[in-house]
Structure 1
Amino acid sequence: MDIKQLKFLIALDETRHFGQAAARCHITQPTLSMRLRNLEQELDLPLVNRGQRFEGFTAPGERVLAWARTVLAAYDGLQAEAAACRGNLVGTLRLGVVPLSSFDPLPLLHRLHGQHPNLRFELSALSSEQILEQLASNRLDIGVSYLERLDTERFESLALDETRMGLLYDQRHFDFGDQPLSWETLAELPLAALTSGMHFRQSMDHNFHSRGLNPSFLLQTDAVHQLLQAVHGGLCCAVMPLNGGLDALTEHLRLAPIADAHTLAGLGLIMRRSAPRSALAEACFALCRETS
Structure 2
Amino acid sequence: MDIKQLKFLIALDETRHFGQAAARCHITQPTLSMRLRSLEEELELPLVNRGQRFESFTAPGERVLAWARTVLAAYDGLYAEAAACRGHLVGTLRLGVVPLSSFDPLPLMQRLHQLHPNLRFELSALSSEQILEQLASNQLDLGVSYLDRLDGERFDSLALAKTRMGLLYDHRHFSFGEDPLSWESLIELPLGLLTSGMHFRQSIDHNFHSRGLNPLPLLQTDAVHQLLQAVHGGFCCAIMPLDGGLETLTEHLRLHPIAEAKTLARLGLIMRRSAPHSALAEACFAAYQKIIEAS
Q: TM-score, normalised by structure 1?
A: 0.98
Deviations 1:150-194 (A, max 9, x none): 211111111111100000000111111222100001111110111
SS at structure 2 position matched to 1:124 = strand
Q: Distance in 2 between matches of 1:177 and 1:26?
A: 57
Q: Distance in 1 between matches of 2:24 and 2:199?
A: 34
Q: Distance in 2 between matches of 1:250 and 1:93?
A: 29
Counterpart mapping for 1:127-276 below 5 A: 127-276=127-276
Q: Distance in 2 between matches of 1:249 and 1:95?
A: 22
Question: How far apart are residue 137 of structure 1 and its match?
Answer: 1.2
Q: Distance in 2 between matches of 1:289 and 1:163?
A: 18
Alignment of 1:119 with 2:119, yes or no, is: yes
- Letter paired with 1:39: L
Q: Distance in 2 between matches of 1:132 and 1:16?
A: 24
Deviations 1:127-157 (A, max 9, x none): 1111111111111110101111321111111
Q: Distance in 2 between matches of 1:110 and 1:162?
A: 23
SS at structure 1 position matched to 2:230 = helix
Q: Distance in 2 between matches of 1:244 and 1:191?
A: 19
Q: Distance in 2 between matches of 1:276 and 1:46?
A: 29
Question: How far apart are residue 211 of structure 1 and its match?
Answer: 0.4
SS at structure 2 position matched to 1:217 = coil
- Letter paired with 1:263: T
Residue in 1 that maps onto 2:73: 73
- Letter paired with 1:8: F
SS at structure 1 position matched to 2:261 = strand
Q: Distance in 1 between matches of 2:199 and 2:60?
A: 35
Q: Distance in 2 between matches of 1:63 and 1:210?
A: 45
Residue in 1 that maps onto 2:2: 2
Question: How far apart are residue 27 of structure 1 and its match?
Answer: 0.6
Question: How far apart are residue 93 of structure 1 and its match?
Answer: 0.6
SS at structure 2 position matched to 1:148 = coil
Question: How far apart are residue 3 of structure 1 and its match?
Answer: 0.7
Residue in 1 that maps onto 2:285: 285
Q: Which runs of 4+ in 1 moved over 4 A?
A: none
- Letter paired with 1:203: S
Residue in 1 that maps onto 2:46: 46
Question: How far apart are residue 58 of structure 1 and its match?
Answer: 1.2
Residue in 2 that maps onto 1:93: 93
SS at structure 2 position matched to 1:238 = strand
RMSD: 0.8
Q: Distance in 1 between matches of 2:266 and 2:50?
A: 47
Which runs of 5 or more residues in structure 2 are unaligned? none
Q: How many residue pairs align between the two structures?
A: 292
- Letter paired with 1:240: M
SS at structure 1 position matched to 2:218 = strand
Identical-pair percentage: 85
SS at structure 1 position matched to 2:196 = coil
- Letter paired with 1:207: N
